[in-house]
Structure 1
Amino acid sequence: MAFSRLGARHIQNMSAATALEPHWGYYDRALPCTNDPGSCEYLDVVYESHDLGMLYSGIMWCIIGAILLLWVVLNQSNAPTISPRLAAPKLAGLYKVRRSMAAFARRYLLPDVARVIFGRTTRFQVLTLALLSGYLLIFSFVGIVYNTWVTPVSKMPGVYNTRNSIGPWADRVGTLAYALTPLSVLLSSRESFLSIITGLPYQSFNFLHRWLGYIIFVQSSLHTIGWCVVELRLYQPQPTVGIEWITETYMIWGVVAMILLFLLFVLSTPWGIRLTGYETFRKLHYILAMVYIGACWAHWKQLKCFMWPSLIFWFLDRGARLVRTALLHYHPDHSNAIGFSFKSSEATITRFPDSEHGDVIRLDLHNTQDAWTIGQHYYLTFAKCSIWQSHPFTPLNVPCVSKGTVQHSYILRAKSGETKKIADLAATGISTTPVILTGAYGEPITRQLTPSTNILCIAGGTGITYVLPVLLELARQTPSPDRKLELIWAVRHTVNMEWVAAELDPLQKARKTLNLGIRIFATRDARSKTPSIESSEAENCNLEIPKIDEKALQVAPSSGSDTACCGCDKPAAVERLGGGENDINRHPDLPTLVGDFLAETVRGPTSVFASGPGGMVSDLRDIVASCNSGGKVWRGEERFDVDLICDDRLEW
């Protein structure tokens, strides 16, 4: 029935056809065409345009595959783990070329673009979006014959249909929208196949996923508007043709798909997320997206070749999440050799009250598992509050397996939602809570920790959990005499150091051994009369820091490190930046701090690890970009090769 109605609109005479010509993604063509010349010419354009649309969709996916393959090759030829001066000449030359090109690209592609439109997004992300949009814009029009055909309506003398290229063009943009659907699902997956190939964390694809969704919405809207013009205005007689068209089953599903896509679009805007709340948005997004894919299938099943992968990618993502959680929490029940039991991890709660900005909670737990990699994070579900929500947190400790068990330590600020419920539990005297883990996710950053690379760690508030494991990991390695390390941490108050006092203490004692500088800025504490680092250190020598088991850190031994380091066992210097009532929240001068660090490096490139508020990360992108110079790196000045590895989890 669907074919006969479509054939009627396309004036195909099936009874006179001697052959059916197959077309991938479309209905078969009846040959020969026995209608009037105008109708036959129009059908030629329709089918040729559709075939080209399928070809352009295939080319688009081939280009994406080629880019991913090239990315894999480039990752395999990553920087050598030894200094290029000690490497073979050919290897050193390739390293020099690659690092020069990387520095050149960072200088121009790392800074943020217009935040009003794109948010806190790098130029590289927007350039990628622009290239994809340019391809779609060009090939939405290329290969279509633009003309108008006035054809008689069968058995209705004096009544004519106006057929033009709006129909073939509307089909083209609809085909491209279908072809983009699997890519959109891939970009949204937490268990990301793209992350496996590129090494990039899944959250780095969120920007492209969001804007690709906007593109699909625009394409689908143009497809709908185009065919509404054709069926409700150009085809005659009206309103008979329009009513018959809109009541067909495939069109009903098309309307359903468009309504669902509109809801997806509205709910994914910042306004929509604020209105519903992030967790509600996320769950609605999952449900609406799957129903939308089903509606697209019902609307035009000939293009199910794009819907199948979309469903497969989605179910693989959800299934992999369940498997990850099972692997972390399903352990053999030794009391029953053939049984297994699901056991959540019991976390110890330490509460740091803060009535102004929300309490800070520290969670410490142990779980039987393999160790994660520095830079990765876990999703935590607080079972006592809700099993339907999970939130990403980065462990602040170095993963060490002891008798099959690994310790996790997390810092989180309890503002609202599930974290506020945990703070309320702690306020009532409850000291433990069950936690369900899923992970680990994210980009491993250990390959950045080469002996020849200087490390600058910059954190704001609870962002210390991302950068602290980097320094703790370096403290377990053999010290590199030429490598400079520094930690810059901005907190509101000096007392906030207590959050991670157990981890900071051994780093402070190993400062000379590691060539490590620690600078902590209290942005809300009033400045002293003599606001210098020396006076600040003297004032804070009596700050009490809890003792910990130093074996957990395992700092590499150094001759005389315990006795030769004058003052290394003292707490880190704290510089108070706050002022009077009108000046209580100053921030560290990041351009100067980064510039001073680079000026003091002896040799080698620099990796800047950063985590904190979005404004701080955006500023660092601009600062690091300005410090890069491909020409100077080519001439051997490695200190102008500065990389930025940032964790934007606080902006999720």
Structure 2
Amino acid sequence: MSATMAPSLHELGARHIQNMSDAKTLEPHWGYADRALPCTNDEGSCEYLDLVYHAHDLSMLYSGILWATILGIFFLWTISRHIGRASSPPVAPELSPKAGLTKVRRTIGAATRQYFLPDAVRSIFGRTTRLQVVILASLVGYLTIWSFVGLTYRTWVTPVSDMPGTYNTRTSIGPWSDRIGVLAYALTPLSIMLASRESILSLITGVPYQSFNFLHRWLGYVIFAQSGLHTISWCVVEMRLYQPQPSVGLAWIVQTYMIWGVVAMFFLTLLVILSTPLAIRLTGYEFFRKAHYVLAMVYIGACWGHWKQLKCFLLPSLLFWFIDRGFRLLRTAYLHYHHLPSGTMGFRAAQAVITRFPDSEYGDVLRLDLENNQDPWAIGQHYYLCFSESSIWQSHPFTPLNAPIVEKGMVKHSYILRAKKGETKKITELAAVKAQGTGEEPTTSVILTGAYGETIMDNINLDTNIICVAGGTGITYVLPVLLKLARSPVTRDRKIELIWAIRHAADAEWVREEMDLLRMAQKALNLKIRIYATRDAGSAPLLLEKDETSADAKQISSSSSSGSDAGCECGTDVPVAKTGHGEVDQDRHPKLAKLVNEFISGTIRGPTTVFASGPGGMVSDLRTIVAGCNSASKVWKGDERFDVSLVCDDRLEW
């Protein structure tokens, strides 16, 4: 900050240009030091002070406009969301009186996905859609405008009192630096809101909290850039342009507000460094997460010490953070406040039965099955699981693979996780110890927090065709969709398909019970199930046809395995059978472009929704594929087959 931004008027008058002893009045300025009037200094100094105070007043005004714009966007977003729901008939939109509005909405949606769904500049932004990058670019452009407007760009050379022949050089760099500093403060509450799990933004927009992670990360980079420019600019002013040196610079840097400014910049730099992918890989995600919490709060406290006049931006930031943490605890308490064996009410962790599927090459897969007395979650939501027998300080997000069904007040949860290292590895070791010599299925205590995330079935109509694509344990995200459809009214012309890529055919045993339920509902659902074993030698895609019985399928699977062109020796109770070639690439991965386009071209009517979860590369490919399947012009002409949406597991971006 400049000398005019010293924490007290005494310091301000002692070392800057305001003559406090001759002041007849003190003019208050929100977020800044009071100004002494009238100005009795030389003409250049008075003009400079006019610019400093006027620029700051505009900075506060522009910050208000910035927040008004943000709140206005979210308000309009919320209104359009509810209008969209009201205009979406459950079936046959062409017969609805709201068909025109529905047609416009679907056309706009198709156009948006066509141009903004694919990844954008992956080398810089990672696996992020063009839409996210466009939103970020719009925000940066908006901030750039507010950083420069309303400033007078001039230079004043003014004499230093009591030092004849010594002059200060006063330029617009000081007011400009203050402007970007104020904007950095103003953006801090938004950054906290974008990072909150108990997200107010999700509540009003319907967008899951994890979808805001990209903007949170890059908004942090913007704040870091603003703070860095603010710091460098004032170092130039105080250590170069103001005279005499080095006495002015040394007197400036030891002031209390400047010490807190240095501390704030240090912790902000540390926050950015520890948030880089390289630092997260070296230190571990859990260290990053906990260090991020602590450093963020210390940074906000240091900003308060640096310039408490702007606490109007810092206090909401702290409140948002504590509200987020408080509601997390309340969610957990609500899920686990039950009747205890003693007859009293209290907190009790759920007991999960562990089923282990050994895999020495890629890490064992564990299936957890538990029951809890609670309300059902919505399809697409996930829970944070804390394994209290290994550590109460860590929790990890997992999607239940089953449909939420309440039976006698209890809801069953089933999860699949691959144990590589960290907490999941500890659970594998714990299960092995408990299983030794007992012959019983091992169990572990689990503390749940949730449910979080979007409800992905809300916009699915009876005429919407469904294609589910999963890779490995990503099956947990799409299975509940199919299980929900199996319990819903059947539409004759709707097509449904599951494409699941796994390393070995035996991996299908992870979800044998659920796959059996789908197999029994295949004919009624018009469901086709394709399972691709990508690591089995000489494997071809595996297909479970809708009209096969369990016994027939097992027989086909056995005979196919014994042939010279067998897909694989399945060795699994999940019935699979070999189908034709040409659906896998040279790495034996399914050719998603071919499969998705064939599915859409084979639909009779209605739009298509693609549900996906799996490796980042697979999701990125699907974004490009789905974008290419959309055509706003054809949707406008009434061909809804070209209205194709993608719903993917956003936790892949974490």
TM-score, structure 1 as length reference: 0.92
Q: Percent identity?
A: 67
Please show how residues 100-249 of structure 1 align to structure 2 within 5 Å: 100-249=107-256
Q: CA deviation at 1:541?
A: 3.6
- Match in the other structure for 2:593: 591
- Match in the other structure for 1:399: 404
How has the CA–CA distance of structure 1 residues 574 and 437 changed in structure 2, closer, same or farther, with 3 Å as cutoff?
Answer: farther
- Match in the other structure for 1:601: 603
**C-alpha contact 2:120 2:127 (8 A) present in aligned 1:** yes
Q: CA deviation at 1:52?
A: 1.1
- Match in the other structure for 2:74: 68
Look up the equivalent residue of 1:65 and give its one-letter code: L
**C-alpha contact 2:557 2:578 (8 A) present in aligned 1:** no
**Structure 2: distance between partners of 1:369 and 1:595:** 41
**Structure 2: distance between partners of 1:85 and 1:394:** 32
Please show how residues 428-447 of structure 1 align to structure 2 within 5 Å: 428-430=433-435, 431-447=442-458
The match for 2:523 among 509, 512, 516 is 512
Q: Which piece of structure 1 moves more, 242-251 or 4-13?
A: 4-13
- Match in the other structure for 1:616: 618
The match for 1:293 among 285, 297, 300 is 300
How has the CA–CA distance of structure 1 residues 511 and 77 changed in structure 2, closer, same or farther, with 3 Å as cutoff?
Answer: same
The match for 1:408 among 413, 418, 422 is 413
- Match in the other structure for 2:90: 82
The match for 1:349 among 346, 354, 359 is 354
- Match in the other structure for 1:382: 387
How has the CA–CA distance of structure 1 residues 16 and 535 changed in structure 2, closer, same or farther, with 3 Å as cutoff?
Answer: closer
Q: Which piece of structure 1 moves more, 637-646 or 8-17?
A: 8-17
Map Cα deviations across residues 541-570 of structure 1 (whole Å, 9 max, x no partner): 4779xxxxxxxxxxxxxxxxxxxxxxxx99
Please show how residues 453-468 of structure 1 align to structure 2 within 5 Å: 453-468=464-479
Look up the equivalent residue of 2:136 and give its one-letter code: L
Look up the equivalent residue of 1:83 and give its one-letter code: V
How has the CA–CA distance of structure 1 residues 531 and 3 changed in structure 2, closer, same or farther, with 3 Å as cutoff?
Answer: closer
- Match in the other structure for 1:629: 631
Give the secondary-structure state (helix, strand or coil) at the position aligned to 1:140: helix
Q: CA deviation at 1:651?
A: 4.5
**Structure 1: distance between partners of 2:309 and 2:574:** 71
The match for 1:47 among 49, 53, 58 is 53
Q: CA deviation at 1:648?
A: 3.3
Q: CA deviation at 1:165?
A: 0.7
Map Cα deviations across residues 384-410 of structure 1 (whole Å, 9 max, x no partner): 111111100000001111222111000
Q: Which piece of structure 1 moves more, 446-455 or 630-639?
A: 446-455
**Structure 2: distance between partners of 1:36 and 1:534:** 89
**C-alpha contact 1:614 1:648 (8 A) present in aligned 2:** no
- Match in the other structure for 1:489: 500
- Match in the other structure for 1:644: 646
Look up the equivalent residue of 2:443 and give its one-letter code: T
Give the secondary-structure state (helix, strand or coil) at the position aligned to 1:526: coil
1:20 pairs with 2:26 = yes
**Structure 1: distance between partners of 2:376 and 2:541:** 43
Q: Which piece of structure 1 moves more, 281-290 or 26-35?
A: 26-35
Look up the equivalent residue of 2:575 and give its one-letter code: P
1:280 pairs with 2:280 = no
Look up the equivalent residue of 1:463 and give its one-letter code: G
- Match in the other structure for 1:371: 376
**Structure 1: distance between partners of 2:653 and 2:201:** 21
**Structure 1: distance between partners of 2:82 and 2:120:** 30
How has the CA–CA distance of structure 1 residues 397 and 574 changed in structure 2, closer, same or farther, with 3 Å as cutoff?
Answer: farther
Q: Which piece of structure 1 moves more, 248-257 or 399-408?
A: 399-408
**C-alpha contact 1:112 1:621 (8 A) present in aligned 2:** yes
**C-alpha contact 2:470 2:612 (8 A) present in aligned 1:** yes
Q: CA deviation at 1:533?
A: 5.2
**Structure 1: distance between partners of 2:537 and 2:53:** 74
**Structure 2: distance between partners of 1:151 and 1:234:** 11
Look up the equivalent residue of 1:303 and give its one-letter code: L
**Structure 2: distance between partners of 1:4 and 1:443:** 55
- Match in the other structure for 1:571: 575
Q: Which piece of structure 1 moves more, 399-408 or 465-474?
A: 399-408
How has the CA–CA distance of structure 1 residues 651 and 129 changed in structure 2, closer, same or farther, with 3 Å as cutoff?
Answer: closer
Look up the equivalent residue of 2:73 and give its one-letter code: I
Q: CA deviation at 1:333?
A: 4.1
**Structure 1: distance between partners of 2:126 and 2:392:** 31
**Structure 1: distance between partners of 2:280 and 2:574:** 47
Look up the equivalent residue of 1:616 and give its one-letter code: M
**Structure 2: distance between partners of 1:413 and 1:577:** 30
Q: CA deviation at 1:526?
A: 2.5
- Match in the other structure for 2:566: none
Map Cα deviations across residues 158-199 of structure 1 (whole Å, 9 max, x no partner): 111111111101101100100000000000001111110111
Look up the equivalent residue of 1:527 and give its one-letter code: G
Map Cα deviations across residues 277-302 of structure 1 (whole Å, 9 max, x no partner): 11001100000000100000010001
5+ unaligned residues in a row in structure 2: which ranges?
1-6, 436-441, 559-572
Please show how residues 463-478 of structure 1 align to structure 2 within 5 Å: 463-478=474-489
The match for 2:427 among 410, 422, 429 is 422
**Structure 2: distance between partners of 1:535 and 1:125:** 39
**Structure 2: distance between partners of 1:522 and 1:501:** 16
How has the CA–CA distance of structure 1 residues 14 and 57 changed in structure 2, closer, same or farther, with 3 Å as cutoff?
Answer: same
1:526 pairs with 2:563 = no
TM-score, structure 2 as length reference: 0.92
**Structure 1: distance between partners of 2:336 and 2:250:** 57
- Match in the other structure for 2:9: 3
**Structure 1: distance between partners of 2:315 and 2:502:** 49
**Structure 2: distance between partners of 1:374 and 1:67:** 28
**C-alpha contact 2:528 2:545 (8 A) present in aligned 1:** no
1:37 pairs with 2:37 = no
Give the secondary-structure state (helix, strand or coil) at the position aligned to 1:524: coil
**Structure 1: distance between partners of 2:172 and 2:298:** 31
**C-alpha contact 2:383 2:397 (8 A) present in aligned 1:** yes
Give the secondary-structure state (helix, strand or coil) at the position aligned to 1:187: helix
The match for 1:480 among 473, 479, 491 is 491
Look up the equivalent residue of 2:351 and give its one-letter code: E
Q: CA deviation at 1:484?
A: 1.0
**Structure 2: distance between partners of 1:584 and 1:412:** 28
Equivalenced residue count is 621
**C-alpha contact 1:81 1:451 (8 A) present in aligned 2:** no
Map Cα deviations across residues 108-163 of structure 1 (whole Å, 9 max, x no partner): 00000111100000000000000000011121111111111111111111111111
Look up the equivalent residue of 1:647 and give its one-letter code: D
**C-alpha contact 1:110 1:124 (8 A) present in aligned 2:** yes
Give the secondary-structure state (helix, strand or coil) at the position aligned to 2:534: strand
